[in-house]
């Protein structure tokens, strides 16, 4: 027990003495744990708001779309309308399924092109009556319900378009006024409407769609039944939507399965004309797409942040170890076992890591509501995500693991070192690399100094390169994301916002900022450690005739040189990262000049950041450093 | 304190002062020092530890800035020079020898010696050649490829002296050059200083070892930051060696 | 007993015999224990015969050497002045130089630091001579150890001079 108290006391006293280093360490690990906590907190946050919307709108358990056959006679052929008799028969089949306790519809759905605020977008216009429906009555969040010439637009879609109540739009060429904005649980919010029920039967979605439309995503809107029927045409026939309520909502997937054919497509055992059946669970998942994407991004970001944190802490720990050799020697000389010595060294870092874990959890818990806002398409907030014991455990565990992994090796080495040499406080001499020394002799002075400094502490140079690679990978992943999205969205006149993309971009931006902040920290730490290590050599170089500018340029070069392979390596790494996070889709390689700008920008940033500690370090007159050794 | 003979004045200081701290805690490390060093002269500054002699040397070499006073080296004013100018001075006009040698442990002897030339921008081939010549001159030609850890104290200091000579400096400044050496190594270094003196090199040596001071042409005593005494050591003595050894003369 | 030392102790003012003896004992400490008590009076009578010291008898006191009052003559003063300026080395030993410093300080005749500096200069010159001679000797010369010995003793003496200087600087600072 006494030993533990002793270890704790020594550790805390040492932290107090080196406050700046402890703060740096805290920042590095906190950034990683915050990202991790945020990612974990997002788990399972999706269902809540959807359930609220479902309750408010009396959402359906099953939604069936039918009345139109798409591309039945082969691709390129347009949709064919099903006969009215078939429609009636399908309706009866559906409403007489066992377990069905209520239904609304069938509602006619017209596929039209809407022009609003200079944008041209495909819309599925559902025809409704004035009276509230038994199942799925969309909840108005602004304005009033449909009327002749009045259209109600789904909320996320309206936000993406930028339209409000009272705006004038055209549907299928006819003028309409926006009568209201509403949310529904019968379809996923824009732009994922298509994943559930929005099928666009118009011809405009052909091969040249991208050039005429502002977006390929279909939006949802409601009009009067009469208006919907009026907008149908042979080219774009009406389809029908039927909302069903089941006695036991949990059985919805089982019921839907009976409509699937052997290969999982429509036209299965029960009814031939049914084009799509969606369960409320499907819609819920699609509605949560927004948050799921964010989760993926955050998880990838957290991984990168943790990697960077490990690198930063390793550099910090390595730098601190160099100063500690004498203290280690003292401890051993008065009788501490190597185990105790290592324990003290590791305990300091663990204590800081613990504090960082707590800070990360608190910040993550506070910031989670900001990003778990499920989007405009669902009513209700996600509520404060629960900090489960699992989250706490994992975050703390990761923080401790980071601290342990990066300090264990130096601590053990320091503890095993010879006591005598530790007391003499001879710092670990730099390694000699004859080829690099010979090479550097031919180069200008700053490069000469920089190469020799980097070669002397190769492990640190490699760590620096790895950190830069990780940061660069993050930036390249963001660029790849933007390039891919840019291609997907099409070149239509006026860009329409894709909420998922916007949120993803925001999330990526947050992650990138965290990564960049960590990388800055890392660069400063590495430069500071380098300056400490090379204080004597720098003073000597100045005594032998190098100017202060040459010396600080040398320190900067010592970091920029390893950063070059780092940034270059980050490009393929970033693309691979994007592919992994995107789920194996296609990746568009960002434009060459964007990549070049990333590389050059990163190197420039490294150089600038490295020169800050260098400037501060060389301010101390070299006479003092050199004399200190002789005293 | 003027130089002994005529001859060009290589190093000149007037009213040199270096202070640390302020008000109550003011420490005058160097307190109004005047100095002239003529070309080819060896000057020794002796004094107890803490008297400011090392500080004085670092001021003379441009490694530190004086609080007040002027210093001229070869006609150029050091106290008014920029940091770049001082750096240039240190590689072209001044050679430093330190008590702790201050060699780079990861460089061989010849790489250590050529370093100031490389810093001055001389081509690597020429620098290497000059370094090899100097190592030969100090008698370490066979140890050129050795690392400092493989050399004895006296050998390391000789390498450091060779390094100080690389740029053919106007003056070599030595701070307690024998402080870390035993008596045999001290003799090696003194012999070398003697050779340099014979070749016309100007030397300013700071020391508390009388053996080192005795090799100088002129010895200056320093106490509490100021010069207190000066002696020209050349020329006659009042005792004969016989009497010193106890022989009755 | 070194004659010049006794003369110098008289330089400040006429002194009783017993006071002179006390002064010497204080200056020499345990080193003076081997000194014969009457030695100083023998020296004083010799100096009187040489005309460098005069002595007077205090009327009310017995006629004993320690009760007499001694003072310097002009010849005595001159001899003291010459002695203070003499830097030849090695003299009769450490005690003499030590007494020289004390006497000079007590009588206000000279600053001990100045005397030390002057002596040091001389010793350095001699050290230089010895070192030159040693370096000029060929390797393996038989005379080399002798020269080394002289050099080492000179170094030792110089170190002692430094200690004296330190001591006298401190005394000056604390105003004694």
Residue A546 distance to chain B (closest CA, Å):
6
Say yes or no to pLDDT of B113 above 90.
yes
pLDDT tens for each residue of A231-245:
887 777 888 888 888
The answer to the question of residue B3 being in a domain is no
CB contact under 8 A, B98 and A441: no
The domain tally of chain B equals 1
Summarize the confidence of residues A459-467 as an average pLDDT: 81
Q: Distance between CA A201 and CA B217 in Å, rounded?
A: 108
DSSP reduced 3-state for C56: strand
- Furthest CA-CA distance within chain B: 62
pLDDT tens for each residue of A208-223:
666 667 677 788 899 9
Torsion-angle region of A245 (φ positive above 0: left; ψ -120 to 50: alpha; else: beta): beta
CB < 8 Å to B63, chain A: 542-543, 621-623, 626
CB < 8 Å to A550, chain B: 87, 119
Q: Which of C34, C171, C18, C11 is nearest to C93 (CA)?
A: C34
CB contact under 8 A, B127 and A441: yes
Q: Distance between CA B90 and CA B116 in Å, rounded?
A: 9
Subunit partners of chain C (3 or more CB pairs within 8 A): B
What does DSSP assign to residue A428?
P
* Distance, CA of A617 to chain centre: 38
Q: Is C147 in contact with C130 (CB distance < 8 Å)?
A: yes
Residue B195 distance to chain C (closest CA, Å):
11
Q: Which residues of A281-293 are buried (b: 16+ CB within 10 A; e: fewer)?
A: bbbbbbbbbbbeb
List the single residue in B with minimal CA-CA distance to C163.
B48
CB contact under 8 A, C128 and B239: no
| Domain ranges, ordered by start, for chain C | 1-109, 111-176
Q: How would you write A506-565 as a 3-class SS string? A: HHHHHHHHHHHHHHHHHHHHHHHHHHHHCHHHHHHHHHCCCCHHHHHHHHHHHHHHHHHH
Find the CB nearest B64 among A536, A541, A621: A621
List the single residue in A with minimal CA-CA distance to B116.
A544
Identify the weakest region by mean pLDDT among A415-429, A540-554, B50-64, B198-212.
A415-429
Inter-helix orientation angle C3-10/C17-28, to 10°: 120
Provide the CATH number for the domain around residue B191: 3.40.50.300
The answer to the question of residue B32 being in a domain is no
Find the CB nearest B119 among A431, A541, A548: A541
Say yes or no to pLDDT of A263 above 90.
no
The answer to the question of residue B19 being in a domain is no
- The token pair at A162 is 């930028």
Fold type of domain C1-109: Arc Repressor Mutant, subunit A (1.10.10)
Identify the weakest region by mean pLDDT among A227-231, A246-250, A457-461, A494-498.
A494-498
- The token pair at B107 is 């460089």
pLDDT at res. B39? 93
pLDDT tens for each residue of B55-81:
899 899 888 889 999 999 988 898 888
CB < 8 Å to C142, chain B: none
The answer to the question of residue B29 being in a domain is no
Return the higher-pLDDT residue of B245 and C46: C46
Q: Distance between CA C23 and CA A623 in Å, rounded?
A: 50
Q: Distance between CA A569 and CA A68 in Å, rounded?
A: 52
Round the CA-based radius of gyration of chain C to a whole number and report it. 20
CB contact under 8 A, B48 and C87: no
Summarize the confidence of residues A277-288 as an average pLDDT: 81
Please tell me if residue B175 touches chain A, with a CB cutoff of 8 Å.
Answer: yes
Find the CB nearest C121 among B48, B194, B231: B231
Give residue B134's domain range. Answer: 39-65+80-232
Say yes or no to pLDDT of A493 above 50.
no
The answer to the question of residue B114 being in a domain is yes
Q: Distance between CA A404 and CA A392 in Å, rounded?
A: 18
Q: Distance between CA A79 and CA A380 in Å, rounded?
A: 38
- If residue A328 lies in a helix (H) or strand (E), which one and from where to where? helix A289-333
- The token pair at A338 is 């190597």
Q: Give me the sign of the Cα torsion angle C5, C86, C29, C109.
A: positive
Secondary structure (DSSP) of B133-178: HHHHHTT-GGGTT--GGGS-HHHHHHHHHHHHHTT--SEEEEESTT
CB contact under 8 A, B244 and C90: yes
Q: pTM of this prediction? A: 0.68
CB contact under 8 A, C155 and B210: yes
* Alpha helices, DSSP H, located in A175-247: 193-196, 209-212, 225-230
Round the CA-based radius of gyration of chain A to a whole number and report it. 32
Q: Work out how many CB contacts closer than 8 A connect B with C.
A: 71
Find the CB nearest B191 among C135, C154, C166: C135
Phi, psi for residue A245 in degrees, rounded to 5: -115, 135
CB < 8 Å to B228, chain C: 117
Residue B144 distance to chain C (closest CA, Å):
26
Say yes or no to pLDDT of A321 above 60.
no
The answer to the question of residue B110 being in a domain is yes
List the single residue in A with minimal CA-CA distance to B123.
A442
pLDDT tens for each residue of B129-178:
999 999 999 999 999 999 998 999 999 999 999 999 998 999 999 999 99
Predicted complex ipTM exceeds 0.85: no
List the single residue in C with minimal CA-CA distance to B228.
C117
Mutate to test the interface with B, among C92, C112, C129 (most CBs of B within 10 A): C129
Residue B229 distance to chain A (closest CA, Å):
25
pLDDT at res. B4? 47
């Amino acid at each position: 027990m006494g030993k533990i108290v002793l270890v704790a006391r020594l550790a805390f006293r040492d932290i107090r003495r080196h406050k700046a280093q402890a703060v740096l360490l805290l920042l590095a690990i906190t950034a990683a744990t915050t990202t991790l906590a945020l990612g974990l907190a997002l788990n399972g946050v999706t269902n809540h708001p959807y359930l609220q919307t479902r309750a408010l709108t009396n959402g359906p358990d099953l939604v069936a779309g039918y009345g139109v056959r798409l591309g039945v006679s082969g691709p390129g052929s347009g949709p064919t309308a099903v006969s009215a008799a078939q429609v009636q028969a399908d309706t009866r089949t559906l409403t007489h399924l066992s377990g069905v306790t209520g239904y609304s519809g069938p509602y006619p759905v017209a596929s039209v092109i809407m022009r609003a605020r200079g944008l041209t977008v495909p819309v599925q216009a559902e025809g409704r009556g004035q009276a509230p429906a038994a199942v799925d009555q969309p909840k108005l969040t602004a304005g009033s319900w449909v009327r002749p010439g009045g259209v109600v637009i789904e909320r996320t879609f309206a936000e993406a378009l930028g339209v409000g109540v009272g705006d004038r739009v055209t549907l299928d060429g006819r003028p309409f006024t926006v009568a209201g904005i509403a949310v529904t649980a019968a379809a996923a919010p824009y732009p994922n409407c298509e994943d559930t029920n929005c099928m666009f039967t118009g011809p405009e979605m052909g091969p040249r769609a991208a050039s005429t439309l502002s977006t390929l995503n279909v939006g949802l809107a409601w009009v009067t039944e009469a208006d919907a029927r009026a907008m149908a045409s042979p080219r774009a026939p009406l389809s029908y939507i039927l909302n069903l309520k089941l006695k036991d909502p949990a059985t919805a997937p089982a019921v839907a399965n009976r409509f699937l054919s052997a290969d999982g497509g429509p036209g299965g055992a029960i009814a031939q004309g049914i084009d799509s059946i969606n369960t409320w669970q499907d819609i819920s998942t699609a509605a949560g797409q927004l948050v799921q994407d964010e989760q993926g991004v955050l998880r990838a970001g957290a991984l990168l942040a943790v990697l960077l944190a490990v690198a930063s802490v390793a550099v910090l720990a390595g730098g601190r170890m160099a100063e500690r050799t004498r203290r280690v020697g003292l401890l051993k000389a008065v009788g501490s076992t190597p185990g105790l010595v290592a324990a003290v060294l590791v305990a300091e870092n663990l204590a800081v890591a613990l504090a960082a874990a707590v800070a990360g959890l608190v910040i993550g818990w506070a910031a989670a509501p900001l990003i778990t806002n499920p989007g405009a398409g669902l009513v209700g907030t996600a509520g404060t995500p629960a900090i489960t014991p699992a989250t706490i455990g994992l975050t703390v565990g990761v923080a401790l693991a980071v601290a342990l992994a990066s300090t264990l090796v130096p601590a053990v080495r320091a503890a095993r070192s010879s006591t005598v040499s530790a007391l003499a406080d001879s710092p670990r001499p730099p390694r000699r690399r004859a080829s690099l020394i010979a090479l550097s002799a031919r180069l200008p002075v700053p490069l000469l100094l920089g190469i020799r400094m980097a070669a002397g502490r190769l492990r640190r140079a490699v760590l620096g390169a790895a950190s830069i690679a990780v940061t660069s990978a993050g930036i390249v992943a963001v660029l790849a994301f933007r390039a891919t999205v840019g291609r997907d969205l099409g070149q239509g006149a006026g860009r329409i916002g894709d909420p998922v993309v916007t949120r993803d971009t925001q999330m990526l931006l947050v992650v990138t900022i965290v990564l960049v902040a960590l990388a800055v920290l890392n660069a400063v730490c590495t430069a500071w450690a380098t300056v400490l290590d090379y204080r004597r050599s720098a003073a000597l170089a100045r005594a032998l005739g190098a100017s202060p500018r040459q010396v600080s340029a040398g320190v900067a070069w010592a970091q920029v040189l390893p950063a070059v392979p780092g940034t270059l390596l980050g490009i393929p790494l970033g693309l691979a990262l994007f592919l992994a996070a995107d789920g194996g889709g296609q990746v568009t390689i960002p434009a060459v000049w964007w990549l070049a700008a990333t590389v050059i920008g990163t190197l420039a940033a490294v150089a600038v950041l490295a020169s800050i500690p260098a400037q501060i370090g060389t301010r101390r007159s070299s006479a003092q450093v050199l004399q200190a050794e002789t005293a | 304190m003027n130089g002994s003979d005529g001859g060009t004045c290589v190093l000149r200081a007037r009213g040199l002062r270096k202070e640390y701290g302020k008000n109550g805690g003011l420490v005058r490390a160097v307190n109004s020092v005047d100095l002239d060093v003529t070309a080819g002269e060896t000057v020794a500054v002796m004094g107890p530890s803490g008297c400011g002699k090392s500080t004085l040397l670092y001021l003379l070499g441009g490694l530190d800035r004086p609080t007040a006073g002027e210093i001229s080296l070869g006609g150029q004013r050091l106290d008014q020079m920029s940091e770049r100018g001082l750096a240039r001075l240190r590689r072209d006009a001044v050679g430093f020898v330190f008590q702790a040698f201050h060699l780079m442990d990861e460089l061989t002897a010849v790489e250590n010696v050529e370093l100031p030339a490389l810093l001055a921008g001389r081509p690597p081939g020429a620098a290497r050649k000059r370094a090899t010549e100097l190592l030969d001159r100090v008698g370490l030609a066979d140890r050129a490829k050795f690392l400092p850890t493989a050399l004895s104290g006296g050998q390391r200091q000789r390498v450091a002296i060779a390094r100080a000579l690389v740029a053919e400096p106007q003056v070599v400044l030595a701070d307690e050059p024998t402080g870390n050496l035993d008596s045999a190594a001290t003799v090696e270094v003194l012999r070398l200083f003697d050779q340099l003196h014979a070749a016309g090199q100007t030397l300013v040596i700071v020391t508390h070892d009388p053996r080192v001071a005795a090799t100088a042409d002129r010895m200056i005593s320093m106490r509490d930051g100021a010069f207190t005494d000066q002696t020209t050591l050349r020329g006659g003595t009042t005792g004969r060696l016989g009497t010193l050894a106890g022989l009755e003369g | 007993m070194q004659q010049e030392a006794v003369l110098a102790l008289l330089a400040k003012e006429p002194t009783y015999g017993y006071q002179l003896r006390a002064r010497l004992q204080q200056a020499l400490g345990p080193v003076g224990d081997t000194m014969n008590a009457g030695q100083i009076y023998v020296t004083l009578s010799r100096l009187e015969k040489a005309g460098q010291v005069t002595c007077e008898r205090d009327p009310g006191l017995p006629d004993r050497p320690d009760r007499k009052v001694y003072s310097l003559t002009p010849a005595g003063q001159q001899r003291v002045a010459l002695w203070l300026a003499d830097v030849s080395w090695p003299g009769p030993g450490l005690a003499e130089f030590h007494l020289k410093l004390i006497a000079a300080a007590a009588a206000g005749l000279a600053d001990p630091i100045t005397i030390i500096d002057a002596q040091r200069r001389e010793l350095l010159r001699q050290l230089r001579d010895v070192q030159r001679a040693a370096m000029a000797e060929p390797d393996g010369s038989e005379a080399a150890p002798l020269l080394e010995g002289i050099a080492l003793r000179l170094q030792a003496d110089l170190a002692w001079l430094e200690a004296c200087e330190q001591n006298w600087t401190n005394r000056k600072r604390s105003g004694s």
